[in-house]
Structure 1
Amino acid sequence: MVELLRAASLQEVPHGFAGRGGGVSTGVHAGLNVGLGSEDERDAILRNRDLARDALLPGATLVTARQVHSPDVVTVTGPIAEADRPAADAMVTDRPGLVLGILTADCVPILLADREAGVVGAAHAGWKGAMAGVTDRSVAAMEKLGARRDRIVAAIGPCIGRASYEVTLDFARSFEEQDGENSRFFTAGREGHCQFDIAAYVAARIAGAGVERIEMLDQDTYSQPERFFSYRRACHLGEPSYGRQISMIAVR
């Protein structure tokens, strides 16, 4: 059974944050691995993508991008073949029947919707994309389709939590140089390191773009191996590959 976590703020909008539960993959990818870039069996990945889509909107068309840790956003107007997936880290649409899917394995998945305008968006925010403004550009792209910033609702799904995300002081300094107030997203860690609350940073960026309603599911991917895939956990365990989970949203 595919489990989809829902955001209370998006209940009227078809959406869901999937974990690794369900699916047909085995081994280190066991469960609902949807990552075409993983070392998993291709047939299993494609079957998992179908299962995820059908758990949300049976018979709809799943659209994903070739994520490259950029701030780039594409406006989706129809189905996109796998071979033609654009290099981008966010998508927006106002077309019913299309399911926008973002893949993550510690990075931050963001689902956005303006119900009244019938416009939705999905964004993948690793630290590079978040810092470069992928959420700002997502909101702007939704606005071009008729959404209003004061009506957009955002939900931040499962991602690596502050307690699990150790970074260097130099890493933190780069954020503080961008904006001195970013120091609030870092707390003391072991010598030469600190802990980064990337979900809170992303939420602040979304709020800074004019979005007033932001919900955080507060689920740490690293510390829940039975529920979520995690790139950092796989690296720490010396595993040869890792799975990706999917977060989806569509226009009703």
Structure 2
Amino acid sequence: MFIYENGIFKSSLLMEKNIKHGFSTRRGGVSRLPYTSSMNVGFGRGDEDDVVLKNIKILEELSGINNSKIVYAPQIHSRIIRKIENEDFTSPVDECDGFITNKKGISLLIRMADCVPVLFYGGNVVCAVHAGWRGTVLGICEEAVKLFSEYGVNPQEITVAIGHCIHSCCFEVKEDFVESVSKERGANFALRHIKKSENGFYADLVSMNEEILKNSGVINIDSSSHCTACNPDLFHSHRKTGGLRGTMGAVISL
């Protein structure tokens, strides 16, 4: 279950573990442009950099994160997750779509505007993943579970929160999308998660990631029911706006 307060969502499962985290909406920030207002954590969307940095700081504070060094990067729709071993970095770091750390005093930020934000906790390790459709079918969540094992954490010990993203009601795709998913994950996987209607094909990124996580051994999964494209007053959505939008973020820290 996800709980909304002060412009952000939190996962009840992660809250039970006392893990500091939050999924931003388009509310609660200081952006003033009509299409980024008021919470935009993405650079290059029209806001001045200092406005974006203020919004990132607000997101951290609303998530209960203080006195932490934040890491973020250009996202490239991959399955690359970077280990953050210490505070010897300057954001943005090299391109990737996720971070993992077992160090306190570091907060992990990924950004989205329809793609799937996934936060992980287990064994005193946290991870944040940006799972676009390409990252999803490439198995970025599988990669996250694999990296947890390198810290000695079993899949059954991991708690996962899948935040708000575009849902199957609004994520219309073309036949080449279906072919790409079938090629990477198999035809049966595509059939389970992509439904055909008289209007076209509709893909379910949430159920894709849930299945991939369960097949990796994860049993504690909290998934948001909110669709970013259905709720333009609450969320930024690339699909809904054709790209004229702000960017939301998901952050987590020990």
Q: Please report the TM-score for the alignment, with normalisation by the length of structure 2.
A: 0.91
Q: Does 1:203 align with 2:207?
A: no
| Cα separation, 2, equivalents of 1:35 and 1:142 | 28
Which amino acid in the other structure matches residue 105 of structure 1? A
Residue identity (%): 28
1:1-252 to structure 2, matched below 5 A, reads 2-11=6-15, 12=17, 13-26=19-32, 27-56=34-63, 57-79=65-87, 80-83=89-92, 85-114=93-122, 117-177=123-183, 178-182=185-189, 183-191=191-199, 193-235=200-242, 241-251=244-254
Runs of 4 or more off by more than 3 Å in structure 1?
Answer: none
Q: Answer with 170-179 or 207-216: which moved more.
A: 170-179
> SS at 2:155's partner residue?
coil
Amino acid at match of 1:196: A
Please report the TM-score for the alignment, with normalisation by the length of structure 1.
0.91
AA of the residue aligned to 2:130: H
Segments of structure 2 that go 5 or more residues without pairing to the other structure are none
- Any idea what the Cα deviations from partners look like across 1:109-162, whole Å, max 9, x if unmatched? 000110xx2011110000111111111111111221222111111110000011
Contact conserved, 2:98 with 2:128, CA < 8 A, in 1? yes
Paired residue secondary structure (1:161): coil
Rounded Cα–Cα distance in structure 2 between residues aligned with 1:37 and 1:139: 32
Report the AA paired with residue 219 of structure 2: E
Q: CA RMSD in A?
A: 1.5
Render the CA deviation track for 1:170-189: whole Å, top value 9, x for unaligned: 31132233312221111223
Paired positions, count: 243
Task: For structure 1, list consecutive stretches of 5 or more residues without a partner in the other structure.
Answer: none
